Amino acid sequence: MEAFFPVACADSLSKIGLLVKARRLALGLRQSDITQAIGISAHTLRKIEGGSERIDLRSFMLVLWRLGLTEQVFASLDGIEQSSQISRYVQDDDTYQSLASRRVRLVKPKPEDF
């Protein structure tokens, strides 16, 4: 399963990578300008711009934030707190706390199950 990565996800990362590179160039920033500003390696930035799926989320989000792309990339998440996928699990006004406190409880296996 480790080698599997959905084509749709790879396509999205490629598009985001192109967007990152285009914004960086439009701002007249070199790769070294960004890497020094947010403390990531040049290799990591090249992987993000190349659409690699092997990037840590922190670095990915920092690059988007530094280039002012977070709202553009995640625009579809606006108002998601009201969606039925989230609201059916929320019992109070504090969405995050309500979801964070929920757990999946599995039945403990008995010796005779083996």
CATH code for the domain of 52: 1.10.260.40
Output the six-digit token pair for 110: 């008995």
**Is there a single domain that holds both residue 84 and residue 54?**
no
Of residues 28, 22, 35, 26, the one with CA closest to residue 73: 22
Is 1 contained in some domain? no
Whole-number Å distance between alpha carbons of 37 and 58 = 14
pLDDT, tens only, 29-79: 999 999 999 999 999 999 999 999 999 999 999 999 999 999 999 988 777
Output the six-digit token pair for 10: 């790879």
Is 19 contained in some domain? yes
What is the pLDDT, as a whole number, of residue 97? 65
| Structural domain count, the chain | 2
Picking from 22-26, 27-31, 91-95, 101-105, which range would have the lowest pLDDT averaged per residue?
91-95
**Is there a single domain that holds both residue 48 and residue 27?**
yes
Residues 6+ apart with CB under 8 A from 70: 61, 64
User: Does residue 86 carry a pLDDT above 90?
Assistant: no
Output the six-digit token pair for 42: 């040049």
Domain that holds residue 91: 77-102
User: Does residue 1 carry a pLDDT above 60?
Assistant: no
Whole-number Å distance between alpha carbons of 36 and 92 = 42
What is the pLDDT, as a whole number, of residue 100? 67
